[in-house]
Amino acid sequence: MTSQAILPLLPVETLHDIVLYLPRYTLRSLLVFQPHPLGNVASYVYFSTLSLHFGIRCNHRWFGNQYEQTVQDLELLEWHNRRSHEILTTIIDGKAGFSCKVRRLKIYAPGSTNSDDLEPEMGLLRSALPKLRRLKVFEYHGLLLPLRRTIMRLSKMAPHLQSLCLSDCVHIGWVFDPTEVTLHSLRNLQQLTLCSGWDRHLKFLDLTASPVKNVHIVAPSRRLPHLSLAPAFICTLTHLSLTTDSIDSVSPFEIALKFGVNIRSLRIRCSLKSPNAHHFRLYADALPFITEFGIYLTVSFVYGLLWDDVDFFPAVCDFLRRKEAQLVHMEIRAPNSQSGQNRLGFDGGKVCWDMFKQRTPRLRSQNTKSQLFSKLESLSITMPAGRKNFALHYSHLIPKGVTRLSLSGEQIRQCPRLFAQSFDKKRRVMWPPCLRLICLHSVDSIHTPMDDYKLTRTIAMCIPTVRVVKIMITGCRNKSFWSVSRESNRSGTSRRLNCTQWSKRQSTAMKEEMLDRHECEDTWFADY
C-alpha cells in the first residue's frame, strides 16, 4: 500500500530517471500500466528504439516470401511482416502519438535478390519517415538497391538525423550506376556507418565536407584514397573504425596516429602488405584522448601476408603501455595461422600477454589501485599458443575490471584442456570478479549444437560469474548465444548448471533485450 500511495506523487521527471535504468524486458512489463504516469514513461522509453524486419534469416542465408522453408520459419516471417505493416501504418496515421516516441529506427530487409519484392514495404517506409520528427538514428541492413531513392531524399525525410548506418547483406553484384549521396545537407549528422556492400550502390562525394565526427567504414582497399583518409578530415574525427582487405600504399595507421589529435576510439581491421610498426614507434605519444583501441589483423585470401613485419605487435604493445591508465576497451587480434602470427612478431602471444604483467617487484606488491589497465572493461585478444591450461596460467593477467572477454585462436576447440578446473591450492584460477560475457571466435566450421553445448558448459564450470557465452565461426555470419544459469540444491551446498541456447529470434531481433536480462553488453565493436 505504501508504494502504491507514493508512486502517484512522484513527478514525471523522477519516474523518467528511474525508467532509464531499467532493462527492456522490465519496461515491457510496465506497459500494462498505461493509465498511470509510470506506464506512459515506460512506453516512451521502450518505443524509442524500434526494430522492423522485412524478412528473416535462415540456414546461412537471407530469404523472403518466395523461398519454401520450415513451418516455424514461415510463421516467424508472417509474424514479422504483419507486425512491421501494422507499426508503419500506425505511424503514418499518426495514432496515439506513437511517431513522437521513436528516436532509433532499425530496418532488417533481406528480402530476395529481386528488389521489387520489397517495394510495398519501402513505400510504407518512405511515407512513415517524415512522420518520425524526433528520429535521431536510422539503421538499415539488407538489400540496398530499393533504398537508394529513400537515401537521396533522407535530408528532407529526416532532417534531424544524427546517426546513419547502411549495410547490404544480400550482395547481388555490382551496380553500374551508384547513386550519388550528399551528406552536407544532413546538418546534424554525427555518426556514419557504412558496412559491407554499400559501395556497390552508393557514392559519397562530400564525406570530408560533412559534419560527421564518428566514422565506421567497411571498404575495399581501392576505395581508401577516396574516402575518409584526408588529414583535414581525420583531425575532426573522434571515432574511426576501418575494415578493409589489405593495406599497401595508404596506411590508416600512419594517418590516424599523425593527425588523429581528437580520436577517442580507433579500430582497424585489415591485412598488411607493407611494414607499419615504425609508425607506432615514431608517434609513440599520439592519440592523447584514446579510450578505445582495436587492431584485428587477418590474412587476405587474395594477397596473403606478403610482408614480414616482426616488430609490429611489439611496437603496438609498447604504444599501448603508455595508454594503460585511460583505455576502457581494447582489442589485439592476430591472424589465426601460426605462420602469420610469427611474421608479425606475435611470438606465440607472449608479447601481448606480458603487457598485463607488472614489470617491477615493487609495483607487484602494491594494492589493486596500481594494477595495470585498471579502467579496462572489454578485452578482445588472441589466445597464447600452446596447450597450457589457459585458466590456470593466464586468467590472473586479465584486468579485474573486465566484464566482457573475447578470445580467438586455433586452439579454441581444445576447450576442455584449456579451461580445465584446477584443484591445486597453491595455484588457483583468478578470473575477473564481474566477468559476465565470454565470446569465443573459432576457426572450426564443422561443429554441431552439441559441440557448442559442451563448449559452453566447460566455460561455465570454469568461470563461475559468466552469464552469456557467444560462439562465432571465423568467416561465418552465424552466431550462437547461450545463457548460463545456476540453481542451488535443496541442501544449498552445490548449484545445478543450466546452459540454454537462444532461439533465432532471441539472438537477432531480441538480442539487446536478452543481454539486458542477463545484465550483459555485447563487445564494444559491431560485427559488421
Confidence of residue 501 (pLDDT cuts 50, 70, 90): very high
Residue 486 and residue 312: Cα distance in Å, rounded? Answer: 43
Collapsing DSSP states into helix, strand and coil, what is residue 25?
Answer: helix
- Residue 463, in any domain of the structure: yes
Name the more confident of 400 and 199: 400
Is residue 483 one of the residues assigned to a domain?
Answer: yes
Looking at the 3D structure of the chain, how many domains does it have? Answer: 2
> Which position has the higher pLDDT, 394 or 32?
394
The DSSP-derived string for 417-483 is HHT-----SSS-----TT--EEEEEE------HHHHHHHHHHHHHH-TT--EEEEEETT---EEEEE
Residue 154's nearest CA partner among 142, 170, 168, 137 is: 137
**Rounded distance between C-alpha atoms, residue 106 and residue 100, angstroms:** 16
Alpha carbon distance 421, 128 (integer Å): 55
Euclidean distance between CA atoms 64 and 43, whole angstroms: 31
pLDDT in tens, 20-37: 666 666 766 666 565 566
Rounded to a whole number of angstroms, the CA Rg of the chain reads 24
Please indicate, yes or no, if residue 501 is contained in any of the structural domains. Answer: yes
210: in domain: no
Distance, CA of 181 to CA of 494 (rounded, Å): 61
Q: What is the mean pLDDT of the chain?
A: 79
C-alpha cell at 459: 566455460
Q: For residue 21, what pLDDT is reported?
A: 60
Tell me the residue range of the domain where 27 lies.
Answer: 1-46
CA distance linking residue 191 with residue 238, whole number of Å: 10
| Residue 41 resides in a domain | yes
In this structure, is residue 1 part of a structural domain? Answer: yes
Domain membership flag for residue 32: yes
Inter-residue contact 109 to 54 (CB < 8 Å): yes
pLDDT digits (tens, 9 = 90+) for 216-268: 988 776 666 555 567 888 899 999 998 887 666 678 898 899 999 999 999 99
pLDDT tops 80 at residue 365 = no
- Sorting pLDDT into bands at 50, 70 and 90, what band is 64? very low
| Stated pTM of the model | 0.83
Residue 168 lies in a domain: no
Residue 178: pLDDT above 80? no
d(CA 375, CA 366): 17
